[in-house]
Amino acid sequence: NYSPGVMDRLGLGYETLRGVRPDIIMASISSTGQEGPLRDLRAYAPSIGSLSGLDSTMGYEGSGPLGLKHAFGDICGALHAVFAIASALYNRKRTGQGQYIDVSMLRATVVTQGVGLMEHALTGRSLQPRGNYDPTMAPYGHYPCAGDDKWVSVAVASESEWESLLDAMGHPAWANDDRFRSQYRRQRHRRELDALLSRWTAQHDPEALTDLLQHHGVAAAPVLSAEERLFHPHFMERGLYNDIDHPSLGAEP
């Protein structure tokens, strides 16, 4: 994970290493790749999000790009490198040949946006920031719950799931409005729908509401804080986090 040219300057470039072991497999992960006009670009996570076009789709209608808080490009680059190395190992087993792998975090991030790329290729339209929006689902998003900054995610993908949501809500009168009688109409009037649904969710605890909606067959989940995620029973049971006995701090997750 060095900038292009660093390994060569250290005397550890691919050609040097291949001279020692001809079948060696070497993967280099860099921001923009070992070749190309942007080869020497200085970049951190925000640079990759910007150049990949991902940031231009993040945010809300009428707002500027928000970007992601975590280093998404680093994750994409690492995952692509793992698969590339595994493929190279398989190829070496078959042919006896090693190879050099040039992984660009920028390219790896671009290819995660297949839907947006295909939409532009077919229609000429570019994806714009739309917040919590899905072109095929309504309601779809995060809705306020009772308590301080408590939220629940809800997504409804079909008429049967819509009916299940109505069952969970007790079939409120507003649901009979013509604006909400089909998935297409709910999509067109999603802002009004979100406002009405929010009034209902705001009366409930997110965990209890999740249980209610799941019981009726609706995709829902509480929005967990960092602390809630750390000690959630599901993660604890599956061993996602483990305590480490530190000599000074004691047992820490």
What are the φ and ψ backbone dihedral angles of 252, each rounded to 5 degrees? -135, 140
Total domains in the chain come to 2
Query: Within this chain, do residues 117 and 56 fall inside the same structural domain, yes or no?
Result: yes
Asked which of 28-42, 120-134, 207-221 is least confident by mean pLDDT, the reply is: 120-134
| Percent of the chain clearing pLDDT 70 (strictly above) | 100
Tokens 């190395």 label which residue? 85
Query: Within this chain, do residues 148 and 55 fall inside the same structural domain, yes or no?
Result: no
- Whether residue 245 lies inside any domain: the answer is no
The C-alpha atoms of residue 205 and residue 228 are separated, in whole angstroms, by: 14
3-state helix, strand, coil in the chain (%, to 5): 45, 15, 40
**Encoded tokens for 159:** 């008429």
Q: Quick one: pLDDT at residue 216?
A: 97
Q: Does position 252 have pLDDT exceeding 80, yes or no?
A: no
Query: Within this chain, do residues 11 and 102 fall inside the same structural domain, yes or no?
Result: yes
Query: Within this chain, do residues 116 and 147 fall inside the same structural domain, yes or no?
Result: no
Mean pLDDT value across the chain = 91
- Whether residue 250 lies inside any domain: the answer is no
Domain of 153? 140-222
- Whether residue 242 lies inside any domain: the answer is no
Tokens 């820490």 label which residue? 252
Query: Within this chain, do residues 45 and 78 fall inside the same structural domain, yes or no?
Result: yes
- Whether residue 168 lies inside any domain: the answer is yes
- Whether residue 203 lies inside any domain: the answer is yes
The more confidently predicted of residues 122 and 221 is 221
- Whether residue 10 lies inside any domain: the answer is yes
Sign of the alpha-carbon torsion through 232, 235, 236, 242: negative
- Whether residue 214 lies inside any domain: the answer is yes
